[in-house]
Structure 1
Amino acid sequence: MMKKLISAVMVVALSVGVAVAQTFPEREIRIVTGFPAGSAAEISLRALVRSAQKFVDKPLIIVNRPGAGQSIAMQELMNAPADGYTVGMVTDTFPGMTYHQYKLRFEAEDIQPLVGYVQFRHVLFVKSDSPYRNYDDFVTHARQSPVTYGGTGVGTTPDMLGKIFARAAGLKLEYISFRGSNEYVPSVMGGHVVSGIVDISGVAKQFEQGTLAGVVVFGSERLPEFPQIPTVAEKGINVDMSMFNSVLTIVANRSVPADRTRMLQDAFTKAANDPEFRAAATSAGLHPVTFGPETLQRRINAARELSVPLMREMNLLAK
């Protein structure tokens, strides 16, 4: 009799668990991002959310919390209840690199990558009428006099790419921090900052219109869209910078119940593979990808192994 009672209780408990899993989500899901509205990264997130709504029957709400190299957004994510109703969008270089430059109230390992959906391809750019639009001219000048470059936040990918590039090529580069590419791209166009580092999608139209020009691609392969721009690899920079071409990633608090993270991962993976999203991303000059948690974790680990020693040497680690 007792065994039957225990079995009945277990069946009820399992049924309740299944019911709870099946009812998630019961309300809107917030997606917190450290990128401002109108930036290339934020625009990509809006495209992804449009596709994700086909697979989630509750509203997906984007919450912009720009500043401090995405740290404000990630701290808000970690302060929220770990119930799956708040997720984040962040670069995969944040937990591997940027995190270590800030004093935060959570561990980098608390960030659980779910799906990577767009990969950046960073370029160094200047005004089209700049006397330093040619790589050799830029390097020659920057070895003699300080040259400013803009990017999104201190400790972010543009910041680190510039510092690593300067270190490898012996340049005098001075970083100017902005909240997003929608701020520093116009600053370069207006002559307030000499150069900038951004994903190609943030300047593709200006390149086509002839108002901005690419100096160098931070990678080993030239861009199919702009094959005239050389790469750091072919210019003899012996540092693998491809790892810093960040992947925009949907993340969650690692303490969120596994059934909910599986549901979120499934929905956003379907969105990343949705032809509508991929067409929108490509037309915006973005490079769509679909990376799962294992691939993303390997990238995070590799970025950490490469960047932390460099940041320690440059005295950039949080104290």
Structure 2
Amino acid sequence: MKLLTRWMARLCMCLVAGQVLAQAYPSKPIKVVVGYAAGGAVDVVARTIGQSLSSSMGQPVLVENKPGAGTNIAVKSVIGAEPDGYTLMMAANALAANMALYQPMPFDAERDLVPVSLIGRVPVVIAANPNVPYATVKQLIEAAKGKPNSIAFGSPGNGSTPHMAIELFARAAGIDLQHVPYRGGAPAITDAIGGQVALVAVNALEVLPHAKSGKLKVLAVLSPNRSPIFPDVPTIAESGFPGFEASVWYGLVAPAATPKPIVAKLHDEVQKALQTKEVRERMSAVGGEVVPGSADMFANLIRSERQRYTKLVKEANIQPD
């Protein structure tokens, strides 16, 4: 009985300490690590959310860009950081994909990190040089079936979300496309505009200015609904593949041992931010949508994406750059 009483007392002390910690948090600036260079879609989303959190939590939220090794450098820096709520990461699909791409596995996101909140999604798009003889996905499939492996598509790199998306699409369509990996979306887009590759797969934000100028034509957005920045472009479902989706998702994660009350507070603050007009408009401006929801929902997404990418990497023998 005495042992039970002591155990209960300690439990109550831990709960009270956690509540006090959460109430005092944050007392200094919060850092959000991004595994990509400044100016890209993940960076834009991180700064948008950071600005909103800074206003609501009363402390600066600073974005630190740590590109390299397919975001593994950034992920490892967060895993090794003090688990006090002051180092977070704006993660994307690479968090799930890299566990399958790199051997030995560089980290275990489900063990080493804790999901804070999903932020939103931006669809992958299939765009083409304006001079190619097809303007729809149906016409692309017909051309690809006529000459297997003759149509090249550029992507931001081996194992990137757009690369994975097109590999999944090609399998669903029963076609073979030639993949040309680049080191980032910008050079892939440049070569598509120049005609070195017929197609390019990138996120909607990156292709927008080139579609507006007529240098590229967008064949489809790989999302369930039409994109607000490409309202006249059909979805991949409308193009004959219902249920198919490939989006770049974004979410905040923290070191695994971060106190639960702090994770809960961060989650609540993010959910508030996602309801604001400013954040919704900013996400819409980059071609995406906010995705409110529980931390468990985000954890389930990471788990399911990990399983999907593991299967694809094995079947297609995809190797990292």
Normalised to the residue count of structure 2, the TM-score between the two structures is: 0.82
Q: State how far apart, in whole Å, the 2-side matches of 1:254 and 1:116 are.
A: 16
CA contact (8 A) 1:162 1:173 kept: no
Kindly state the Cα deviation for residue 30 of structure 1 after the two structures are TM-superposed: 1.3
Q: Which residue of 2 aligns with 1:57?
A: 58
Q: State how far apart, in whole Å, the 2-side matches of 1:230 and 1:275 are.
A: 27
Kindly state the Cα deviation for residue 16 of structure 1 after the two structures are TM-superposed: 6.1
Q: State how far apart, in whole Å, the 2-side matches of 1:251 and 1:204 are.
A: 28
Q: Which residue of 2 aligns with 1:284?
A: 286
Kindly state the Cα deviation for residue 237 of structure 1 after the two structures are TM-superposed: 4.3
Q: Which residue of 2 aligns with 1:99?
A: 99
User: Which of the numbers 236, 250, 253 marks the counterpart of 1:251?
Assistant: 253
Letter in structure 2 aligned against 1:211? K
Quote the RMSD (CA, aligned, Å): 2.9
User: Which of the numbers 169, 174, 183 marks the counterpart of 1:178?
Assistant: 183
Q: State how far apart, in whole Å, the 2-side matches of 1:111 and 1:18 are.
A: 21
User: Which of the numbers 294, 297, 300 marks the counterpart of 1:295?
Assistant: 297
Label 1:15 to 1:281 Cα distance change in 2 as closer, same or farther (>3 A): closer
Q: Which residue of 2 aligns with 1:211?
A: 215
Label 1:43 to 1:12 Cα distance change in 2 as closer, same or farther (>3 A): closer
Give matches, 1:1-319, under 5 Å. Answer: 18-91=19-92, 93-102=93-102, 103-109=104-110, 110-143=112-145, 144=147, 145-169=149-173, 170-179=175-184, 181-223=185-227, 225-237=229-241, 240-242=243-245, 244-316=246-318
Instruction: Name the SS for the 1:55 alignment partner.
Output: helix
CA contact (8 A) 2:129 2:215 kept: yes
Kindly state the Cα deviation for residue 131 of structure 1 after the two structures are TM-superposed: 3.4
Q: State how far apart, in whole Å, the 2-side matches of 1:231 and 1:17 are.
A: 46
Letter in structure 1 aligned against 2:285? S
Instruction: Name the SS for the 1:216 alignment partner.
Output: strand
Label 1:136 to 1:112 Cα distance change in 2 as closer, same or farther (>3 A): same
Kindly state the Cα deviation for residue 212 of structure 1 after the two structures are TM-superposed: 1.5
Farther-moved stretch of structure 1 (191-200 vs 217-226) = 217-226
Label 1:283 to 1:22 Cα distance change in 2 as closer, same or farther (>3 A): same
Normalised to the residue count of structure 1, the TM-score between the two structures is: 0.83
Q: State how far apart, in whole Å, the 2-side matches of 1:197 and 1:175 are.
A: 10
Q: State how far apart, in whole Å, the 1-side matches of 2:281 and 2:81 are.
A: 33
Letter in structure 2 aligned against 1:94? A
Letter in structure 2 aligned against 1:203? V
Q: State how far apart, in whole Å, the 2-side matches of 1:98 and 1:268 are.
A: 26
1:197-222 alpha-carbon deviations (Å, 9 max, x no partner): 12223223332332221122224444
Q: State how far apart, in whole Å, the 2-side matches of 1:289 and 1:178 are.
A: 29
Letter in structure 1 aligned against 2:163? D
CA contact (8 A) 1:69 1:154 kept: no
Farther-moved stretch of structure 1 (110-119 vs 146-155) = 146-155
CA contact (8 A) 2:118 2:292 kept: yes
Label 1:18 to 1:299 Cα distance change in 2 as closer, same or farther (>3 A): closer
CA contact (8 A) 2:114 2:256 kept: yes
Kindly state the Cα deviation for residue 183 of structure 1 after the two structures are TM-superposed: 4.4
Q: Which residue of 2 aligns with 1:3?
A: none
CA contact (8 A) 1:98 1:156 kept: no
Letter in structure 1 aligned against 2:57? V
Letter in structure 1 aligned against 2:34? T
Q: State how far apart, in whole Å, the 2-side matches of 1:255 and 1:22 are.
A: 18
Percent identity, aligned pairs only? 26
Q: State how far apart, in whole Å, the 2-side matches of 1:72 and 1:221 are.
A: 34
CA contact (8 A) 2:153 2:179 kept: yes
Kindly state the Cα deviation for residue 53 of structure 1 after the two structures are TM-superposed: 1.0
CA contact (8 A) 1:24 1:260 kept: yes
Letter in structure 2 aligned against 1:99? M
Kindly state the Cα deviation for residue 119 of structure 1 after the two structures are TM-superposed: 0.8
Kindly state the Cα deviation for residue 249 of structure 1 after the two structures are TM-superposed: 0.4
Label 1:14 to 1:247 Cα distance change in 2 as closer, same or farther (>3 A): closer
1:102-153 alpha-carbon deviations (Å, 9 max, x no partner): 2344312122221222211111002333334443443344442433333334
Which ranges of structure 1 fall in alignment gaps of 5 or more residues?
A: 1-5
Letter in structure 2 aligned against 1:199? N
CA contact (8 A) 1:68 1:154 kept: no
